[in-house]
Amino acid sequence: MTATGTPVSTTPGSSLEGLPLLTDKVVVLSGVGPGLGRSLGEEAAKMGADLVLVSRTERRLEKMAEVVRAHGRRALVVPTDINDEDARARLVERTMEEFGRVDCLINNAFGIPPMDPLTTLTVEQLRAANETNVFAPLRLSALFADALAATHGSIVMLNSCVLYQSQPEFAGYKLSKGALSHLSSSLATELGPRGIRVNSVAPSYIYEDVNKGYFDWLASEAGVTHEDIYREKAEPTDLKRLATPEEIARVVLFLASDLASAMTGQTLNVDCGEFHS
């Protein structure tokens, strides 16, 4: 695609209508924002879910709520600092007061670690990222566990294909996502006897607004075009393209649906074939 959104190639499935896979289920979505967070909310509503929308920015949540309601579904806006334990507890209380149930918790919130080699980072810098990327998903999962056990619900962690990379500038990022991967596996074992499934989705580059801007910057630094950068990033993939946020969202929501009722402890790569596991 170009910076203005002109397609380089057609994305299969881009015209799919939402399937009613989540009819009347309640999905708690942390990390409502541009790109993937927005697509997760809208695709869930298209599939019939009611949403609890969670981030620190109320205006952003209200805009997302309008989208959800436009698809005929209910939306509860709960501005929350997910790194604050009292705020997390209030989120659970508000959710249960409004809906009385929870079917899926999607841990999508992400704090970007400094993009520098690990040996140059302070513990404080790493701790700040891991509060959002590891400890908040752990605490939210624990606090929602009783509600999820009552519905035999599920948790989906948003991970990343950075797990398979070793560039020094990605080390702090990989540290967070590696810890989240181990957390997901351990929670799957711990919560499984209660009927709760825990799975992860690992995208590579997602072709959305943040990465489009990043590609523009890379292009300006290298003296090439946005399309050149896109092709460079897509070249390692089998499909020779990058996944859209809607495609990532649909895999996440598949794991939230009853179609995945026997899946737990798994990580699904959604990367157009960049990494094979």
How many other CB atoms are found less than 10 A from the CB of residue 92?
Answer: 19
Choosing from 164, 173, 205, 230, the catalytic residue is 173
205 tagged catalytic:
no
Handedness of CA 258, 200, 264, 94 (dihedral sign): negative
* CA separation for the pair 206, 210 (Å, rounded): 9
Measured CA angle at 119 (ends 113, 125), to 5 deg:
30
Active-site residues: which are they?
Answer: 173
